Amino acid sequence: MRHGARLLLALFLSLGAAGPGACGPGEGTQAEKPAEKAPDPAVQARLEKAASVDTARVKSADAEPQNWLSYGRTYDEQRFSPLDQINASNVQELGLAFATDLLTDRGVEATPIVVDGVMFLSGPWSVVWALDAASGEELWFYDPKVPKAYGQKACCDVVNRGVAVYGGKVVVGTLDGYLVALDAKTGKEAWRVDTLIDRTQPYTITGAPRIVDGRVFIGNGGAEYGVRGYFSAYDVNDGNLLWRFFTVPGDPAKGFESPALEAAAKTWTGEWWKIGGGGTVWDSLVYDAELDLLYVGVGNGSPWNRKLRSPEGGDNLYLSSILAVKPQDGTLVWHYQTTPADNWDYTATQPMMLADLVIHGEPRKVLMQAPKNGFFYVLDRVTGELISADKYILATWASHVDMLSGRPVETGLADYMGAPALVMPGAPGGHNWQPMAFSPQTGLVYFTAMDLPGLYENDVDFVYKPGAWNTGTTFAHTTDVPPESLAGRLLAWDPARGRPKWAVEHWGPWNAGILATAGGLVFEGTGDGFVRAFKADDGALLWQAPAGTGVIAPPVTYSVGTEQYVAVAAGWGGAFPLFAGRAAKAAGVTSVGRLLAFKLGATGRLPPPDALPPPPEPPPLMEASAEDILKGRTLYNTYCGVCHGFGAVGGGVVPDLRHAAPQTHAQWQEIVRGGIRADGGMASFAQWVSEADANLIHAYVIKRAHEGDVPPPD
């Protein structure tokens, strides 16, 4: 719409709203309201040109190394840039070019897309910016206005991992399950479709769409809550649904959607469909331009507990699997299941990358993934055949993967049907959503690995509670994770030999995705607030800069004119600082979202940190009985711990309840059950938590407010 036409429409609407005879001073007031900034045709033309990405361009992305055209830069998602202006000999001269405030205090996980000097970036609550990539200046901003109460349906923060740009459109999946295409010129919606099969179910979208030959691929999250997983293909022109692939079979009485699901149903027992089965596709979707296949990473079971999910056993296909499907219609070509009969939230949604490697003297076309379960997999991507699976952390649940059957051999140490079991890795995995990078110069895969054990305990009183967490495990005895049992590192993995070449230990487990460059460098942000550059061949630390907040998103690199930039969307958050507050506090950062861009010779400074909040007011008196406080702890762990931190210690993202203001204590019931803070992301729990239970939770929080971070032993 032209500017004049927009003003006319605004005036018309104002008259219509006021009604006949209402003319007078009000009319003039309306006309004098500051008009929307006139769109600059030159900027719009620049934006439109920048979004003119198509499949042919991404296939030949190396012909335009100045750009970062798709999520993993190239379809094979190696996150290796041919740019080498910034290299091992001059990286020390890297300085801050600009910092753009993203106006958020929630986790930032997105990969920016950069084309011809324009950056398209998503943020928490699925907002999108178009920015000038050389200055950070905003060109437009889009807010899908996700209802903040939806935060309750997101297991792992209200993050978004990125947009896809194609044919003049910018496509984003929203936390509340819509797929939206924006006109790249204006940032206005071109189309918007509901991807949810059932809007009453707690599905979310946090992953980045991928677009190939006009088809947009997207899946969703929600398997902690008890849903059925699927992924879909949409027409980028109009948002029409082209096909959908369910990852687990539904109720056999209703028939199966495909032969692949009929086959999968033979690996399930009992009435698995009643709690959805799980298998959500919340992150990795990778296109193989050579074989014309789409690879899809499938998530954990719903519930986690396999005895509840499929009581007579079975592998439960296609949970925790990598699927190869035809992008035209979703026909299954091959599958490989990393964790048969998943019992621990061991998703295979983690980032996948494609490469051509020489292994034992033979050239192989491989797919590589380090899923949560602690093994680094190299698969033949033509056939799905397992080439190797080697532990990248000290995983205790399986001794090894049997190379004849391709199956892991469980140790029994992770069986929690009797006593609770402390298992390595825990539910966050040995590696999570943070993207990996591969350097063809070194032949190494770089990723951030975590030592993060989890306590699993059978929920003997399990009852399905629609809309709540339904894992079939109880967190009743989960304390916060002791920081000293945690560790994390940048791992340089040799995929041809199945072992690390080098590793750099970090402050703790929750760190960032990786960028590798032809400058012989590997870039990684850290949870304790730095952006660092390492020498790709031996891991020597060459450069670091403060970010002023924890960094978890992967850096990208691009150039504008003659200058190469390294940029990262910084902002502490994601799953870890929500549930593991005490350990996350060790990072010593707060959550401030900002896009940081670095270039050689720049001397920019970070904005000063926000003033410290005033010290908390003293908590209310502790009046509850020890018995009630213990009951309160179980309830707290069940309903509050995953976001507000086990042990009631906040990790710097959502409020630390021990430091709640007197008003919060006074309005406890109205907040917890009445939903009066839903607009801030704290929706009502009245569906699951009674008034008496809310009081017990309050008693536990008050007790914790009188103690230090470390609760005294029971």
Q: Which residues bind Ca ion (CB under 5 A)?
A: 300, 345
Shortest distance, position 405 Cβ to Ca ion, whole Å: 26
Task: Report the residue number, 300 or 458, with the smaller CB distance to Ca ion.
Answer: 300
Task: Report the residue number, 142 or 344, with the smaller CB distance to Ca ion.
Answer: 344
The strand pairing partners of 398, in sequence order, are 410
Task: Report the residue number, 77 or 345, with the smaller CB distance to Ca ion.
Answer: 345
Shortest distance, position 156 Cβ to Ca ion, whole Å: 8
DSSP string, 597-650: EEEET--B-PPPPPPPPPPPPPPPP--S-HHHHHHHHHHHHHHTHHHH-GGG--
Place of tokens 């970010």: 547
Tell me phi and psi for residue 337, to 5 degrees. Answer: -100, 120
Cα distance between residue 67 and residue 47, in whole Å: 14
Task: Report the residue number, 548 or 573, with the smaller CB distance to Ca ion.
Answer: 573
Shortest distance, position 57 Cβ to Ca ion, whole Å: 34
Q: Answer yes or no: 693 catalytic.
A: no
DSSP string, 128-195: EEEEETTT--EEEEE-----GGGGGG-TT-S-----EEETTEEEEE-TTSEEEEEETTT--EEEEEE-
Shortest distance, position 461 Cβ to Ca ion, whole Å: 22
Q: Of 105, 283, 345, 390, which residue is the catalytic one?
A: 345
Place of tokens 């032209």: 2
- Whether the link from the prior residue into 303 is cis, omega within 30° of 0, is yes
Cα distance between residue 180 and residue 162, in whole Å: 12
Q: Which is nearest to 556 in space by CA: 148, 48, 208, 46?
A: 208
The token pair that represents 154 in the structure block: 């997101």
How large is the C-alpha radius of gyration of the chain?
25
Shortest distance, position 643 Cβ to Ca ion, whole Å: 15
Shortest distance, position 471 Cβ to Ca ion, whole Å: 9
Shortest distance, position 576 Cβ to Ca ion, whole Å: 14
Cα distance between residue 550 and residue 106, in whole Å: 11
Shortest distance, position 432 Cβ to Ca ion, whole Å: 10
Q: Which is nearest to 566 in space by CA: 519, 608, 609?
A: 519
Shortest distance, position 417 Cβ to Ca ion, whole Å: 20
Task: Report the residue number, 176 or 345, with the smaller CB distance to Ca ion.
Answer: 345
Contact call for residues 85 and 564 (beta carbons, < 8 A)? yes
Cα distance between residue 387 and residue 402, in whole Å: 11
Place of tokens 């080697």: 390
Task: Report the residue number, 349 or 557, with the smaller CB distance to Ca ion.
Answer: 349
Task: Report the residue number, 574 or 632, with the smaller CB distance to Ca ion.
Answer: 574
Tell me phi and psi for residue 546, to 5 degrees. Answer: -75, 145
| DSSP-derived secondary structure letter, 536 | T
Task: Report the residue number, 309 or 673, with the smaller CB distance to Ca ion.
Answer: 309
Shortest distance, position 179 Cβ to Ca ion, whole Å: 21
- Taking residue 692's Cβ as centre, other Cβ atoms within 10 Å add up to 10
Task: Report the residue number, 300 or 634, with the smaller CB distance to Ca ion.
Answer: 300
The one-letter amino acid code at 699 reads A
Cα distance between residue 221 and residue 279, in whole Å: 9
Place of tokens 């992008």: 327
The token pair that represents 423 in the structure block: 């298992």
Helix or strand holding residue 387 (H, E): strand 386-391
Cα distance between residue 430 and residue 407, in whole Å: 19
| DSSP-derived secondary structure letter, 52 | -
Contact call for residues 501 and 494 (beta carbons, < 8 A)? yes
Contact call for residues 18 and 27 (beta carbons, < 8 A)? yes
**Active site amino acids:** 345
